[in-house]
Amino acid sequence: MSDLPQGWEWARLEDLAANEPRAITDGPFGSNLKSEHYRPSGARVLRLQNIGDGYFRDEKAYIELEHFEKLRAYEAREGDLLIASLGDDPPRACLVPKLHEPAIVKADCIRVRLSPRIEPLWVMYALLTPAIKAYAANLIKGVGRPRLGLSQIRSIPIPIPPRNEQLRIVEALEDHLSRLESGASTLSMAVQRLHRLAAAIIAAGSSGALTGVGELATTQLPDVGLNDGALPPLPRTWYWTRLYDIAEVVSGITKDAKKQADVELMEVPYLRVANVQRGRIDLTTVATIRAPKTKIEQLALRPGDVLLNEGGDRDKLARGWIWEGQLPLCIHQNHVFRARIRDGVLDPRILAWHANSFGKAWAEANGKQSVNLASISLSKIRLMPVPVPPKGEQELVARTIQEQVDGVGRLLHAVSSEKGRTRQLRRSLLAEAFAGRLVQRVSNDVPASALLEGIRAERATLQEPKWQRRKHTT
């Protein structure tokens, strides 16, 4: 770690803890907290979901008060420091706000109760600095679930200035960061509005409202026992049909673990739900699968095929885009549907845009849904209503939608760049603060060495026998 300004000292996180047993603890593991223990109200359970990078997320979970009493050793109070030991960007940290109920921390959450000589916000911001993030990154273990162990978190080095300087720097940081957060919030709202605008453009364009092709008319399809809702009105030269009328729609290959060991079978790339995003095909990671030659021939993708997701999370229903022949040979799994349009009756772009707007809501209305998961069957997706413009108008429709979506995309890129600058300013601000350059220094501040000595003296009494600690107070 780097050199410190005069009067500052390095200290391990555990050296800053309060003078009480279990001042630093992780949450209970094992059978103490299971899904059946959660209730609609009672004592709060603070989880990884509550720990933002410098802010507390007010996600609520509760257990009965009697159960809380059994786990009181893991209690979290206002002003305690919470650290996420699990995740991609540790040590993520925040402070416990004032809560209306008693609270405990769950497994993978570290609760640190600091000495009153230390400003909690100072330690929280220290954990968010680029230097300590980089230090912690070298200690992370695990691939699928990267984590920092409790002993590693206890040993994280924290730069400590004099107490009064801590307060001055934190005050300046809070002022600057609040302005940055206000700007970041405005940018985030702009991103949401732009996404809504893109969705509105796609919905309007794929139903003929963008190209000015004349009077709109409301039509309905024959009832097939599904919830079509009120179909948007179309130009009189357009018509509604079902997906199966204009496209061959098939499911993909089911992964068979036994076949994957058969070296006689051909191994080919195949697309999963993660590859089929809304408005793009993501080939960052492409898995392979062994399959019979006849199956591969049946499922081999061709340029112009529209890929649609069966489901998973709610936002994945009917999500998809067009295969453009990015790989010479590729098939798709059974959770991805392939729609191959017959005889060029519809531009694949219009179908893909329509599926990502109207199709998303239609699939949610007609699919199977649980709390977090949703899916739609092959037999139902084939019945999705699809608008079809006259052949001669389709290029104009597709070009108009593309031009306006590209315009929104350029705005999104600009906003994203500004958000990146905001994040960089935040990192630079924290780096300046913890290098002692954010506020003017005062020469008569009591040095950090005296502050840390006081904490050590307090904590030394914690190790003494009870009778000896009583002697100090008489």
Three-state SS across the chain?
A: CCCCCCCCEEEEHHHHECCCCCCEEECCCHHHCCHHHEECCCEEEECHHHECCCCECCCCCEECHHHHHHCHHHECCCCCEEEECECCCCCEEEECCCCCCCEEECCCEEEECECCCCCHHHHHHHHCCHHHHHHHHCCCECCCCCECCHHHHHCCEEEECCHHHHHHHHHHHHHHHHHHHHHHHHHHHHHHHHHHHHHHHHHHHCCCCCCCCCCEECCCCCCCCCCCCCCCCEECCCEEEEHHHHEEEECCECCCCCHHHCCCCEEEEEECHHHEECCEECCCCCEEEEECHHHHHHHCCCCCCEEEECEEEHHHCCCEEECCCCCCCCEEECCEEEEEEHHHCCCHHHHHHHHHHHHHHHHHHHCEECCCEEECCHHHHCCCEEEECCHHHHHHHHHHHHHHHHHHHHHHHHHHHHHHHHHHHHHHHHHHHCCCCCCCCCCCCCCHHHHHHHHHHHHHHHHCCHHHHHHHHC
- Within a domain: residue 24? yes
Number of domains in the chain: 2
Q: Please identify, among 124, 159, 194, the residue that sits at the C-terminal boundary of a domain.
A: 159
- Across residues 122-150, what is the average pLDDT? 86
- The mean-pLDDT minimum among 93-97, 368-372, 447-451 falls in 368-372
Say yes or no: 364 and 243 in one domain.
yes
Say yes or no: 63 and 139 in one domain.
yes
- Within a domain: residue 93? yes
User: Which pTM does this prediction carry?
Assistant: 0.70
Containing structural domain, residue 65: 11-159
Q: What is the CATH number of the domain that holds 122?
A: 3.90.220.20
Say yes or no: 219 and 152 in one domain.
no
What is the model's pLDDT at position 218? 78
12 pLDDT above the threshold of 50 = yes
Say yes or no: 238 and 379 in one domain.
yes
- Across residues 247-267, what is the average pLDDT? 84
- Across residues 220-238, what is the average pLDDT? 90
Say yes or no: 136 and 26 in one domain.
yes
Say yes or no: 234 and 369 in one domain.
yes
152 pLDDT above the threshold of 60 = yes
